[in-house]
A and B are shown apart, each in its own frame.
Chain A
Amino acid sequence: MKIFVCIKQVPGVSEVKIDPKTNTLVREGIPSITNPYDKNAIELALSIKEELGAEIAAISMGPPQAEEVLREALAMGVDRAFLLTDKAFAGADTLATSYTLSLAIKKILKELKKDEKYIVICGSQAIDGDTGQVGPELAEELDIPQITYVQKFQIKGDKVIVERIFRTEEVVVIETNFPVLISVLSEINIPRNPTMSGIVDAYQKKEIHYLDAERLKADKAKIGLDGSMTQVWKIFIPERKGEHIILTGTIEEMVQNLCENLKEDKIL
């Protein structure tokens, strides 16, 4: 069996702050991390490998420094790592991203032996863009079924059985065939930390394969900014609405003042 795990390098979002005086971004010292949900995806792949045997390929699209997240994946135990990096990929929306990822997967799938199965695992969303769109779009591009928001996963013979959560009131148990793409929730497992020897291997024994637009034989009209249907038209820092009053006085006075204001605002 082959398992593909798609991972993304994201900024540690909580660190992105706005300077209140200039209303601009404070960028210093924003660390880059592996998207947390993608670590759950890696962990699931590793646990499947441990139970049934499999070869795991981690794939990421991004600038050259996204190599870091692939090294981390290698250190956790994935077998191969592919970085899709090319200036021509810049500015990609989710449609262009899913197309590019699918090319890499299709390229590796040529190695698939007869009757060998495969699955694709993604995190349910990235914490920077928060769209959750690449998974389903990738499944469509590969023409395989998808199950999103998975909190439990099991392989029984030729079948995949998962628990999908769309709402707190309901868990839906779904059975499907190989191949399949699933996107996982953080509830599915606790990602392992790389071991010391894992880290050494990741840097010394294992290598990262670089793939650019040419090696992927990408259609130029489908990648990067040119392949994106959506365009960012404007980026802005939202202004805070209304006035901001810090109430003063004794507790009684402050509460009195608050209630009067809320009455004026027709809330009370």
Chain B
Amino acid sequence: MSIRVDRDLCTGCGSCVEICLYNGVAMINDIAQITDDCNLCGACVDVCPVEAIVIEREELKAEKMDLTQYRGVWIIAEHFKNKIHNVVFQLLGKGRELADALKVNLSLVILGANFDDNLKEFSQYGADEIIYIKSSILKDYYSDLYVKTLTELIIEHKPEIILIGATPMGRDFAPRVAKRVNAGLTADCTGLTIDIESRNLLQTRPTFGGNIMATIKTPTSRPQMATVRPGIFKPLKKSKRKVIIKKIDYDYNQKDSVSKIVKIINREKKKINLEEAEIIITGGRGVGSKENFKLIEQLADCLNAEVGGSRVAVELNWIEQDHQVGQTGKTVSPKLYIACGISGAIQHIVGMQGSEIIVAINKDPKAPILKLAHYGIVGDLQKVIPELIKKIKKIRTEKEI
């Protein structure tokens, strides 16, 4: 494997130097030259207008995989307290689109204990088939049992694509399954499309904290596995479909797992669901005080919205951690996101840039958030928000009449 520059083709335009994240290419006498810092990421290959940079991969000795044996799109279900995680329905929506493009079946795979009565309902979200592995111990999550069961199913059925929610649980078993079946796995995808000719899944994900997007493919092996953050894709509207249900009983018991769940400590469940919210009002440092944060809550109330906070707002204890939006908090994609007193640090933007409409209220005209926002108001939020509340209430009453 090597990377080289065709000196005759290189025009010295410098696009490669600009795109490189690693200082892996430099201009020497107006010709691009690869440096020791090159990480072979391929960004320069893609950006070069004259195709002067090439990465050559050695033909692997390992036998080439027969990709045509692999067909179908799978969604692996996650559940908690007998409830299927919302991301599963979102993945079924996206999975339907991918399966249609590839003209193959979409399957929902559930490892669980008490879902017999729900299968009919689950069949309305786009799947052609539900594979339900039933075992009483699988009401809880056992890492090794998930990996073992899924690996066996994958080897038997050979799906070409497997999508999993990028939740802590998904991120626990997906890599281990990928390693066991020697599959490529792309984490935290925000975009998935099919290259019809090669049947490759093009997996787009944010990297370097979301400033840069990378599109990843797995051209030489199957299955292609990807985890997807909750809240990125939309579920389909429920509709009646003909669905094949395969229920298989497994007689797992405690001894089959190397780990033992000693106890489960329940913590207070907060009634907040930022990932699913249609409207979110978020406050940051500029809100000024815990007292002022009530303004954010009032605005949220009148819009029937959820309240979010930046990292600073959480650290200052103006709002609880569960409400944090950003890299170390939640990733959200509401229809409307109103950022109040938030400057727009990258870590925050990563968590909310998928919002359909972004409104920013900030008194600093140079705040980066104003460049991202669809509508920006430069002003004192203590004056802007009360005015906004007044206006919205007026619109709401007009509508009712």
**Chain A interface (Cβ within 8 Å of chain B)?**
11, 13-14, 16-18, 20, 22, 24-25, 27, 63, 88, 90-91, 93-95, 98, 127-137, 139-141, 145-149, 161, 163, 165-177, 220-221, 224-226, 228-238, 240, 242-247, 251-252, 254-256, 258-259, 261-263, 265, 267-268
Q: Are A173 and B213 in contact (CB under 8 A)?
A: no
**Pairs across A and B, CB under 8 Å, 10 listed:** A20-B371, A24-B19, A129-B207, A137-B178, A148-B172, A168-B267, A229-B182, A229-B218, A246-B377, A254-B384
Cβ contact of A240, chosen from B36, B216, B260, B372, cutoff 8 A: B372
| Most chain B CB inside 10 Å of its own CB: which residue of A14, A171, A258 | A258
Which 9 residue pairs are nearest across A and B when measured between Cβ atoms?
A229-B184, A91-B40, A131-B187, A235-B43, A136-B175, A133-B175, A13-B209, A230-B184, A140-B179
CA distance A209 to B316 in the complex (A): 43
Q: Which A residues touch B1, using CB under 8 A?
A: 88, 91, 224-226
B194 → chain A, closest Cβ, in Å? 13
| Most chain B CB inside 10 Å of its own CB: which residue of A130, A140, A229, A240 | A229
A15 → chain B, closest Cβ, in Å? 9
B114-128: contact bitstring with A at CB < 8 Å (1 yes, 0 no)? 000000000000000
B231 → chain A, closest Cβ, in Å? 15
Q: Which B residues touch A134, using CB under 8 A?
A: 175
| Stretch with Cβ within 8 A of A (4 or more), from B55-63, B94-102, B236-244, B289-297 | B55-63
Q: Are B187 and A130 in contact (CB under 8 A)?
A: yes
B181-195: contact bitstring with A at CB < 8 Å (1 yes, 0 no)? 011111110000000
Q: A27-B23, A232-B216 are in contact. List 15 more A-B contacts (CB 8 A).
A: A11-B208, A14-B209, A16-B209, A16-B212, A91-B40, A128-B207, A129-B207, A130-B188, A136-B176, A167-B80, A167-B168, A230-B216, A240-B371, A247-B377, A258-B388
CA distance A63 to B22 in the complex (A): 11
Cβ contact of B176, chosen from A18, A137, A224, A246, cutoff 8 A: A137
Known: A91-B39, A166-B169, A235-B214. A245 touches B264 (CB 8 A): no
Quick check: is B31 within 8 A (CB to CB) of the other chain?
A: no
Q: Which residue of B lies closest to A261 (CB)?
A: B375
Cβ contact of B19, chosen from A145, A235, A261, cutoff 8 A: A235
Q: Are A16 and B211 in contact (CB under 8 A)?
A: yes
Quick check: is B258 within 8 A (CB to CB) of the other chain?
A: yes
A198 → chain B, closest Cβ, in Å? 28
Residues from 226 to 283 in B contacting A, C-beta threshold 8 Å: 258-270, 279
Main secondary structure, interface of B, reads: mixed
Quick check: is B156 within 8 A (CB to CB) of the other chain?
A: no
Known: A254-B379, A255-B388, A258-B375. A128 touches B208 (CB 8 A): yes
A32 → chain B, closest Cβ, in Å? 11
Quick check: is B26 within 8 A (CB to CB) of the other chain?
A: no
CA distance A251 to B383 in the complex (A): 7
Cβ contact of B61, chosen from A169, A221, A252, A258, cutoff 8 A: A221
Cβ contact of B262, chosen from A16, A98, A161, A231, cutoff 8 A: A161
A141 → chain B, closest Cβ, in Å? 6
Q: Are B387 and A146 in contact (CB under 8 A)?
A: no
| Most chain B CB inside 10 Å of its own CB: which residue of A131, A140, A230, A254 | A230
Known: A145-B144, A147-B259. A166 touches B212 (CB 8 A): no
Quick check: is B143 within 8 A (CB to CB) of the other chain?
A: yes
CA distance A129 to B188 in the complex (A): 10
CA distance A228 to B39 in the complex (A): 13
CA distance A220 to B57 in the complex (A): 12
Quick check: is B373 within 8 A (CB to CB) of the other chain?
A: yes
B387 → chain A, closest Cβ, in Å? 5
CA distance A113 to B217 in the complex (A): 43
Cβ contact of B18, chosen from A24, A225, A234, A245, cutoff 8 A: A24
Known: A18-B211, A233-B216. A256 touches B264 (CB 8 A): no
B163-182: contact bitstring with A at CB < 8 Å (1 yes, 0 no)? 00001110111111011101
A221 → chain B, closest Cβ, in Å? 5
Cβ contact of A244, chosen from B21, B41, B322, B373, cutoff 8 A: B373
Q: Are A136 and B179 in contact (CB under 8 A)?
A: yes
Known: A90-B39, A244-B374. A259 touches B392 (CB 8 A): yes
B301 → chain A, closest Cβ, in Å? 15
Q: Are B213 and A95 in contact (CB under 8 A)?
A: no
Q: Are A231 and B176 in contact (CB under 8 A)?
A: no
CA distance A251 to B391 in the complex (A): 12
Q: Which A residues touch B209, using CB under 8 A?
A: 13-14, 16, 127-128, 130
